[in-house]
Chains A and B, each alone.
Chain A
């Protein structure tokens, strides 16, 4: 095992490969948060009155709230007055009409990440609404989507062009007072993505957004709203990488999904933000509220996530199964390495009849990584014949890491069937032996086993993401995984 241990150490001590910073002139507000800040953000974005009111209401609620302390993560207290709440790349002021007009510095950033925008857009057929810091700088394939009546644009654009939709759905899944970070986001969110799929439309391509955190000390407060109207389908991809820096950065996004009757939403995330260095310095604080609402009968919402980055992850993508026969899914791979901490899981709230949910969570903990699965399955009194299956497994690499499981199961209906299984172990000696005996190198064997451990989740990822996800897992060995 010592051989494999050293191999593992070599892999897990890899430096973050995407650490660089693009210097683009930014148009930023001064540090600090007050009602004035909220008004200025709203004014800068030329928002309608109702949105400003909504932001202010959120801000007032936020003032009375305390940061949650129940998660098993540790960090110094965050000074919310020491954050810049709005920063837009200067060059965006006139608004790029096409990719050619986009600041070449920005495009280079994407290229360095190995995801050249146009190439990816053309080759992969993916429409990319790239969020660079807080303002969308490029969107593609818009016409093609528009043909079908699909709205896929930045949040600010949606506010200007489709205020009625924004007004109807914003905050209807995650209310402003939901939690500390959601309230903060509601008050100061700068931009994000907006998707509306009209009735009966199957979105012809995977919608994708790349989030990056760039300007120094800029908290990122993304807001994503996806509405799938009756009988529609959409698959949405979200991928993140961030440059290396030493100061902790706060990221508090809110994602709201609404699925009406017979609609399906598939939301996939690959998250590889800067996790801090080996000693745990720097790194992103990722405090995200993600929730989907299966509002109509026979609707389905599926979350798939691969979480390899961030110093601290605090994230519980949830599904409210309101409609009868609705389905919720959660597939997750989370890797914590060095001093990373992750407290993640899901909530499945069964309210409708014959609702079903599946939860598959795979945690890999290495170095001094701390990982917790925290989940809730609630079967309400009226949820006849609800069904849940939960499986959460942890793999431990190293004797200083930790893995915790906190599954809450609340059942109020006798016809419910709820199953929860969890296991924790390290890579089996016998598995390694088996692979080695058949001539695989130690590296290949470890990568194969780790990959196999995560397979159930990876198979849920869209093709475009599956390969990248395996790389980002950080345990990929010279591309031999897969």
Chain B
């Protein structure tokens, strides 16, 4: 059913998608579609989707149309309070999958830094985007689906030694249900380039909708990307993301993911450390309550000697929420002197909640130091007693303990501006 629906959407929209004149893009879309059609919706029989059922998403007949019927009446003033970077000097805002120039501010970017919405690119200019998305488009069935339908997103480039230190806000707002958005983010950082960015997905609709996004990251030697991804989707929303990074010598990728709301979330994140000295920090926090579901599948590939990786994910589960964490670290043969750490800690607050975690190591080299850990537990009784004995109300004590558990993910955000922004957002919001 679902495949047929997307098939008809693909046929219907063919001529409406951007860059029709370009044979490269036609080929790109066709091969994406063919790949998705061949694989179909993964079922729980697939090892990578063992705990993740897509049955509900499959039943939805969502429109993949890139054309907005009418521009929603949104102003920056109305969005600002919800934005993770309310004071951002640079921002690219997308509403229902469309770039909204009146809400964005991209003038005066530092020299060598470019932030280009896809809809502003000519077919010719857009070809360079393919290199950044090449690796990610085959990563998951949904990345392939994205390749078939992609119409909008942001392409961020940094020339050699160019630096964007004032963090950029990329805000995707969804105001209406019934749609499937296929958006992309691409980051191309040349030698020594530095970029700090927050990608925020904000749902203002309580109707079902589907955000299917991919992110491609290419870091040249010495480049640094500080990346925060924030999911605050609507209560019946589906969010599926795929990220693929490739890192050259001495580059640094700091990725912090926060899945705070949405009916269903799934992220497949992978980085390849290709040359000595590359380093990655991959951290995250997921929170589920009600009947929410969040799933993180991460993979860090140590392809070269002398690289380091640090992965730290935390989860807070309440209500009948469910979460899945699958963290894989692969150390290739001869990737000696690899240092890798991974941990996943989960806080279960309800008997109806469920967590399935699998920290996974695959190691083919001997001179390595790799460790991983995973825990599942509940609020500490001693701590609880301590707070209560000092007169704190149960709600307050609980909030304090949950915050203490979850907020330490923030302290590892290396970029001061992003850290302060996330800190402000999380504290303002209170606990789960």
A113 touches B (CB below 8 Å): no
**Interface positions of B (Cβ within 8 A of A):** 47, 51, 333-334, 336, 346, 348-351, 353-378
> Would you call A416 and B47 a contact (CB within 8 A)?
no
List the 6 closest A-B pairs by CB distance, nearest first.
A396-B366, A414-B348, A418-B376, A423-B371, A420-B374, A405-B361
Q: How many angstroms from the CA of A441 to the CA of B166 in the assembled complex?
A: 59
CB distance from B264 to the nearest CB of A (A): 19
Query: What are 7 sample pairs from A and B whose C-beta atoms fall under 8 A apart?
Result: A399-B334, A402-B362, A405-B361, A405-B362, A411-B357, A413-B351, A420-B357
A53 touches B (CB below 8 Å): no
B331's nearest neighbour on chain A, judged by CB, is A424
Q: How many angstroms from the CA of A396 to the CA of B362 in the assembled complex?
A: 12
Fill in one digit per residue for A316-345: 1 if any B CB lies within 8 Å of its CB, else 0: 000000000000000000000000000000
> Would you call A414 and B359 a contact (CB within 8 A)?
no
Q: What residues on B are CB-neighbors of A418 within 8 Å?
A: 374-377
Fill in one digit per residue for A86-98: 1 if any B CB lies within 8 Å of its CB, else 0: 0000000000000
CB distance from B315 to the nearest CB of A (A): 11
> Would you call B359 and A405 a contact (CB within 8 A)?
yes
Known: A396-B363, A403-B361, A420-B374. A411 touches B355 (CB 8 A): yes
> Would you call B375 and A420 a contact (CB within 8 A)?
yes
Q: What residues on B are CB-neighbors of A423 within 8 Å?
A: 369-372
Q: What residues on A are CB-neighbors of B358 within 8 Å?
A: 406-409
B373's nearest neighbour on chain A, judged by CB, is A421
> Would you call A416 and B348 a contact (CB within 8 A)?
yes
CB distance from B373 to the nearest CB of A (A): 5
Known: A399-B366, A410-B354. A422 touches B359 (CB 8 A): yes
Q: Which of B334, B336, B353, B363 contacts A402 (CB 8 A)?
A: B363
Q: What residues on B are CB-neighbors of A424 within 8 Å?
A: 361, 363, 368-371
Within 8 A of B (CB), among A387-417: 394, 396-417
> Would you call B374 and A417 a contact (CB within 8 A)?
no
Q: How many angstroms from the CA of A351 to the CA of B294 in the assembled complex?
A: 25
A427's nearest neighbour on chain B, judged by CB, is B366
> Would you call B376 and A411 a contact (CB within 8 A)?
yes
Q: Which of A400, A411, A413, A420 contacts B373 (CB 8 A)?
A: A420
Q: How many angstroms from the CA of A419 to the CA of B51 in the assembled complex?
A: 20
Q: How many angstroms from the CA of A177 to the CA of B158 in the assembled complex?
A: 59
CB distance from B365 to the nearest CB of A (A): 6
CB distance from A446 to the nearest CB of B (A): 14
> Would you call A394 and B363 a contact (CB within 8 A)?
yes
> A403-B361, A404-B360, A404-B362 known; 18 other A-B pairs, CB under 8 Å?
A407-B359, A409-B357, A410-B355, A411-B355, A412-B354, A414-B349, A415-B351, A416-B348, A417-B377, A417-B378, A418-B374, A418-B376, A419-B373, A420-B359, A423-B371, A423-B372, A424-B363, A425-B370
Known: A402-B362, A418-B377. A411 touches B370 (CB 8 A): no
A426 touches B (CB below 8 Å): yes
